[in-house]
Chains A and B, each alone.
Chain A
Amino acid sequence: MTAKKNWTFKMTPVRKVLIGLAAICLVVVGYRLAFGLGNATNLNDQWPWGLWIGFDVLTGVALAGGGYSTALIVHILHRDQFKPIARSAMLTSLLGYLLVMGGLFLDIGQWFNFWRPFVSWGYHSVLFEVFWCVSLYTLIQVLEFSEIATEKIMKPWHCKIKKLMPVLLIIGVLLPTLHQSSLGGLYLIEVGKLHPLWWSMLLPPFFLMSSFFVGPAMISVETSLAGKAYNHQVPLSVMRGLIKISGTMMLIYLALKIGDLIYRDAFKWVFSGTLEGNMFLLEIVAGVIIPIIICFSSLSSTRKGLVTFGALTVFGVILNRMNVVFTGMSKSLGGNYFPSMMEWVVSIGLVSIGVLAYMFIVENFGILEKHHDHQVLTN
């Protein structure tokens, strides 16, 4: 047991690159905080929201959705067969949210004023709900993680946290359900501005459903990467079962989406050959339809199939958020926006920090099944 107390962090060339990227990112972050948004970014009056909100926040939150969907499946519905992936999914989610908070913080002009909405309640704003839920949920996730952390450090707390877990888990599923849909709700007010292929009163449920089904997809990509790096293979049957849940949700999503387009008389745009139409097609065909086919055919019984499913679904959700933030808005906003060098550096740097933190935690805490079992044995 004593041996486990040592902290390890292997240095590899990849990690050196990541550390480099993270370091440059931190320098740029300093610059941005000191000299303002206008100097660091290409944002302007026509394009007040850019890469940081679009990718770091909107996409980041969706991709971190793996945490709450697994928590729901494993801990609320007690599908014990999915336990092996629960901890790593929740860790990814926690890190994802911390980065989202970081991205959000960088994107607000009066960053020293970030706490204001906690006391000045603009409760009619969808952003208010997003803000509260995302902050509270990050806090809850930190507490949830402390169950794992206290296995190694501050052990006396472990039992107390364990008792709290059911409550934390339930709130931890409730909050994301609310704000995943609210992120879509943010764009409800863009009525007449956001292209009809994306604007719909159903945006909140669409965002919610896609954040739910991208969860298992993220996990399949992540476990295959982690599998290689840490020689930790999640049984195929477990992954396949998880992906079936995803696929079912995707089918409902697709049906709703098509029904909604027809109902709003926006279906004509799909094959209109315009930029919007083509981007929409790419999003739906590559990101939803092909994954569904993989999921319900024999293709999903191989690891390759699972990873392809995961990669395509993740791509589809990223593209969807980007389409809502950029493609769908470009006609009505006009003007030009392309992220500046500094915006790229920060976004890439934040992801690098996330990956580094993931590796550090996986190597030092009981996240992956094998470590976990090992610990159980030695206890």
Chain B
Amino acid sequence: MSKAVLVDISKCIGCKGCQVACKQWNDLPAAKTSFSNDLGNPSDGSGYTWTHVRFRTVENGDEVKYRFAKHQCFHCLEPACVSACFARALQKSPEGPVVYYPHLCVGCRYCMLACPFSVPKYEWEKTFPLISKCQFCFDPDGKYDRMRHGMKPACVSTCPTGALQYGERGELLVQAWNKINSNTKYVKHVYGEKEAGGTSWLYISDVPFETFGFRTDVTTRPLPEYTESYMRMTPVVALSWGALLTGMFLYTKRRNEIAREQHDQKPGL
């Protein structure tokens, strides 16, 4: 079974501890402070900020709620980014994480377009920029690896309120549904259970997921299926079309030759 994290948005206090822990563990440079209408800072992820906390105010009549949601790569079970990468620079590991191998990357940025959650970012100001995204604290080279040492991801270890829980995906799903069913405050939806065919990051919340710009119209069919059904046809199409072309070439050539011969012969007859 693959590893996963369950996020309970109602428990997050917006301390941004996870954001800082991620930067520290992964040696990511600080981003320039920028103010926007919400207190998230920076207000979106970037090539140097793999996880960021989104701040939102939810008004419902007299009641005002402040809610915060951490956003990072969802580590899809069947990742669109992996199926889009033509250089195998993104690969799904059996443990769960979707890992980026920079030395293979060409920098075409197709993965950015393919990801349904707009996760991969680019190091725009560099001469030779790379893609960057959360690696789930999994590093095949070892340096930034936590997962294979049995440690939780840096963000999860840091979270002071237990809003982030690390474990087996199947078990976390059961837990998530138990929580939702035993408490009416929750939206009846585990975000990530079915989205894009299922993801390794699961969210439950007491305010609508749209609040945080989480797309709720993502198809539940794994995205790679759309392109792979097309790609599977290629060899067959190539072979039969090639054969057909050769056939037509020979046939029409012969036909023209016969026509010409007849044409040439006629006057002589």
A residues sitting closer than 8 Å to B (CB atoms) are 34-39, 43-46, 48-49, 72, 75-78, 80, 107-114, 116-117, 120-131, 166, 169-171, 173-174, 177-178, 185-186, 188-193, 201, 204, 333
Interface contact B128-A110, CB-CB below 8 Å: yes
- Nearest CB of chain B from residue A277's CB, rounded to whole Å: 19
Interface contact A36-B110, CB-CB below 8 Å: no
Indicate whether A127 sits within 8 Å of B245 (C-beta atoms), given known contacts A113-B106, A204-B230. no
Residue from A45, A122, A131 in contact with B88 in the complex, judged by beta carbons closer than 8 Å = A122
A110 to B104 alpha-carbon distance, docked (Å):
10
Closest B residue to A38 by beta carbon equals B124
Q: Which residues of B contact A131 (CB under 8 A)?
A: 86
A373 to B82 alpha-carbon distance, docked (Å):
54
Residue from B86, B130, B242 in contact with A122 in the complex, judged by beta carbons closer than 8 Å = B86
Q: Which residues of A contact B173 (CB under 8 A)?
A: none
Q: Which residues of B contact A80 (CB under 8 A)?
A: 256
Interface contact B122-A127, CB-CB below 8 Å: no
- Nearest CB of chain A from residue B107's CB, rounded to whole Å: 2
Closest B residue to A194 by beta carbon equals B113
Indicate whether A170 sits within 8 Å of B242 (C-beta atoms), given known contacts A48-B112, A120-B104. yes
Q: Which residues of B contact A109 (CB under 8 A)?
A: 105-109, 122, 128-130
Closest A residue to B228 by beta carbon equals A124
Closest A residue to B252 by beta carbon equals A78
Interface contact A192-B226, CB-CB below 8 Å: no
In the complex, whether B185 has a CB less than 8 A from a CB of chain A is: no
Interface contact B226-A36, CB-CB below 8 Å: no
In the complex, whether B266 has a CB less than 8 A from a CB of chain A is: no
Interface contact B215-A192, CB-CB below 8 Å: yes
- Nearest CB of chain B from residue A111's CB, rounded to whole Å: 8
Interface contact A121-B88, CB-CB below 8 Å: yes
Interface contact B228-A173, CB-CB below 8 Å: no
Interface contact A77-B252, CB-CB below 8 Å: yes
Q: Which residues of B contact A49 (CB under 8 A)?
A: 109, 113
Closest A residue to B90 by beta carbon equals A122
List B residues 29-51 near A (Cβ within 8 Å).
Answer: 44, 46-47
Interface contact A126-B230, CB-CB below 8 Å: yes
Q: Which residues of A contact B125 (CB under 8 A)?
A: 36, 38-39
A242 to B86 alpha-carbon distance, docked (Å):
37
Which of A35, A39, A193 counts the most chain B CB atoms within 10 A?
A193
Interface contact B107-A110, CB-CB below 8 Å: yes
Interface contact B116-A192, CB-CB below 8 Å: yes
- New A-B contacts (6) at CB < 8 Å, excluding given A127-B86, A189-B114: A37-B129, A78-B253, A109-B106, A117-B106, A125-B84, A188-B227
Which of B89, B228, B230, B234 counts the most chain A CB atoms within 10 A?
B230
Q: Name the segment of B17-25, B69-77, B217-225 touching the other chain.
A: B217-225
- Nearest CB of chain A from residue B120's CB, rounded to whole Å: 9
Which of A43, A76, A109, A123 counts the most chain B CB atoms within 10 A?
A109
In the complex, whether B87 has a CB less than 8 A from a CB of chain A is: yes
Residue from A169, A190, A193, A333 in contact with B249 in the complex, judged by beta carbons closer than 8 Å = A169
Q: Which residues of A contact B218 (CB under 8 A)?
A: 192
Interface contact A189-B227, CB-CB below 8 Å: yes
Q: Which residues of B contact A189 (CB under 8 A)?
A: 80, 83-84, 113-114, 223-224, 226-227
Interface contact A48-B109, CB-CB below 8 Å: yes
A166 to B126 alpha-carbon distance, docked (Å):
47
Q: Per-residue 0/1 for B221-254: is the Cβ within 8 Å of any A Cβ (1 yes, 0 no)?
A: 0011011101100100110011001101100110
- Nearest CB of chain B from residue A377's CB, rounded to whole Å: 21
Interface contact A37-B105, CB-CB below 8 Å: no
In the complex, whether B121 has a CB less than 8 A from a CB of chain A is: yes
Interface contact A174-B106, CB-CB below 8 Å: no
A78 to B124 alpha-carbon distance, docked (Å):
51
Indicate whether A129 sits within 8 Å of B231 (C-beta atoms), given known contacts A178-B238, A192-B219. yes
Interface contact B87-A36, CB-CB below 8 Å: no
The 20 listed contacts between A and B (C-beta, < 8 Å) are A36-B124, A36-B125, A48-B109, A48-B112, A78-B252, A78-B255, A107-B108, A109-B129, A111-B107, A122-B85, A125-B85, A131-B86, A171-B242, A173-B245, A178-B238, A185-B230, A188-B226, A190-B113, A191-B226, A192-B116
- Nearest CB of chain B from residue A70's CB, rounded to whole Å: 14
Q: Which residues of A contact B252 (CB under 8 A)?
A: 76-78
Interface contact A108-B108, CB-CB below 8 Å: yes
A355 to B28 alpha-carbon distance, docked (Å):
47
Interface contact A174-B107, CB-CB below 8 Å: no
Interface contact A116-B106, CB-CB below 8 Å: yes
Q: Which residues of A contact B161 (CB under 8 A)?
A: none
Closest A residue to B224 by beta carbon equals A124
- Nearest CB of chain A from residue B22's CB, rounded to whole Å: 18
- Nearest CB of chain A from residue B137's CB, rounded to whole Å: 23
Q: Which residues of A contact B178 (CB under 8 A)?
A: none
Q: Which residues of B contact A72 (CB under 8 A)?
A: 245
Q: Which residues of B contact A192 (CB under 8 A)?
A: 116, 215, 217-219
In the complex, whether B262 has a CB less than 8 A from a CB of chain A is: no
Q: Which residues of A contact B127 (CB under 8 A)?
A: 34-36
A108 to B110 alpha-carbon distance, docked (Å):
10
- Nearest CB of chain A from residue B239's CB, rounded to whole Å: 10
A35 to B105 alpha-carbon distance, docked (Å):
18
Residue from B44, B86, B105, B253 in contact with A128 in the complex, judged by beta carbons closer than 8 Å = B86
Interface contact A45-B230, CB-CB below 8 Å: no
Q: Which residues of A contact B86 (CB under 8 A)?
A: 117, 122, 125, 127-128, 130-131
A252 to B167 alpha-carbon distance, docked (Å):
54
Indicate whether A110 sits within 8 Å of B228 (C-beta atoms), given known contacts A38-B125, A192-B217. no
